[in-house]
């Protein structure tokens, strides 16, 4: 459940991150986009970037839509994967939907218009596919 303002860029090594269950299935470093004029690098000190409900983060706007985002593969077929997403604020859902990834062409048939949410879905799915076997 990463922060909805977290734009993941690079994955850290798997060996160092084996213990916790990461929301994007791995620990990612990236940028904080809570304040568009300032893109802060997400480091160890910004633990809430990888784990949502970052409501205590001083950079979050007070008029934000969500505190966290989450992803789950809900349908798995030989030709594609349907990924559900949801956004929450104060532990209540505020938005949800599905995205569709075509395994044959390695492209998104249905993507999200928000580039941050889309990038989070891409990172989640890349780890899901890397750790799965398909029929």
Give strand pairing partners of 100: 82, 110
Q: Which residues of 84-114 are buried (b: 16+ CB within 10 A; e: fewer)?
A: ebbbbbeeeeeeeeebebeeeeeebeeebeb
What is the residue extent of each domain of the chain? Answer: 6-130
* 28 neighbors 78 (Cβ within 8 angstroms): no
Q: Is the pLDDT of residue 101 over 70?
A: yes
Residue 114 and residue 13: Cα distance in Å, rounded? Answer: 27
Cα dihedral 106, 112, 118, 124 in deg (nearest 10): -70
For the chain, how far is it from start to end, CA to CA, in angstroms?
28
Interval 64-81: pLDDT, tens: 888 889 999 999 887 899
Give me the pLDDT at residue 60, please. Answer: 81
Nearest to 80 by CA among 104, 63, 51, 116: 104
The residue written with tokens 């993507």 in the block is 111
Q: What is the pTM of this model?
A: 0.83
- Nearest partner of 29 among 14, 44, 51, 18, judged by Cα: 44
Question: How many C-beta neighbours within 10 Å does residue 73 have?
Answer: 15
Q: pLDDT tens-digit profile of 41-60? A: 665 555 567 776 666 777 88
């Amino acid at each position: 459940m990463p922060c909805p303002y977290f734009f993941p860029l690079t994955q850290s090594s798997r060996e160092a991150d084996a213990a916790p269950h990461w929301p994007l299935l791995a620990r990612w470093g990236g940028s904080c986009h809570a304040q568009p004029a300032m893109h802060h690098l997400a480091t160890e000190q910004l633990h809430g970037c990888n784990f949502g409900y970052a409501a205590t983060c001083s950079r979050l706007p007070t008029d934000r839509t969500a505190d966290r985002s989450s992803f789950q593969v809900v349908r798995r077929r030989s030709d594609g994967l349907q990924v559900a997403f949801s956004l929450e604020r104060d532990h209540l859902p505020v938005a949800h939907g599905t995205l569709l990834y075509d395994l044959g062409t390695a492209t998104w048939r249905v993507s999200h218009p928000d580039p941050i949410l889309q990038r989070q879905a891409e990172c989640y799915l890349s780890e899901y596919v890397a750790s799965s076997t398909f029929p």
